[in-house]
Amino acid sequence: MSTQPSAEHLKREIQATLEARRELGPSYDEQFLDALVEKLTRQVAQARQSRPATPAHNAFNAKQRSELAVVSLVFAIPMIAIAGAEVGLLGIAFVCAAIVAVNIIAAKM
């Protein structure tokens, strides 16, 4: 069994965090954002540690990393708008953290 949390487990944790935020109100946004960033950072670190060494031919080249960054920015605009409208600041922070995590992981490949 893997020590990494599954995507479903992480989704349940985030849903619980959002429900707690709704109950407690916006005065706790900073604490919720800190907890979310902590969880995402931990998951990225675990994924990086458990990833086997990959040969150089599987790595993204500079052009592909640039393309990923541009595509991330293009998709970030509607995702941030939707997350902000539906969830608020916490949703925006989650989208931004996810985009940063994807680009960091791709840069390390």
pLDDT tens figures, 37-77: 787 788 778 877 877 665 555 566 778 878 888 888 888 88
Of the pLDDT bands very low, low, confident and very high (cuts 50, 70, 90), residue 1 is: very low
Instruction: Give a yes or no: residue 90 inside a domain.
Output: yes
How far apart CA 102 and CA 31 sit, in angstroms, is 23
Instruction: Give a yes or no: residue 29 inside a domain.
Output: yes
* Cβ–Cβ under 8 Å, residues 88 and 39: no
Instruction: Give a yes or no: residue 57 inside a domain.
Output: yes
Instruction: Give a yes or no: residue 2 inside a domain.
Output: no
Instruction: Give a yes or no: residue 62 inside a domain.
Output: yes
Q: What pLDDT sits at residue 52?
A: 67
Taking the model in full, what pTM does it have? 0.45
Dihedral, CA atoms, 108, 103, 94, 14, nearest 10 degrees?
-40
Report the chain's mean pLDDT, rounded to a whole number: 78
Per the structure block, which two tokens stand in for 5?
Answer: 């949390």
How far apart CA 13 and CA 5 sit, in angstroms, is 10
Q: What pLDDT sits at residue 35?
A: 77
Instruction: Give a yes or no: residue 48 inside a domain.
Output: yes
Query: For residue 55, what are the domain limits?
Result: 7-108
Instruction: Give a yes or no: residue 26 inside a domain.
Output: yes
Domain count, the chain: 1
Per the structure block, which two tokens stand in for 16?
Answer: 């619980």
pLDDT tens figures, 16-27: 877 877 887 777
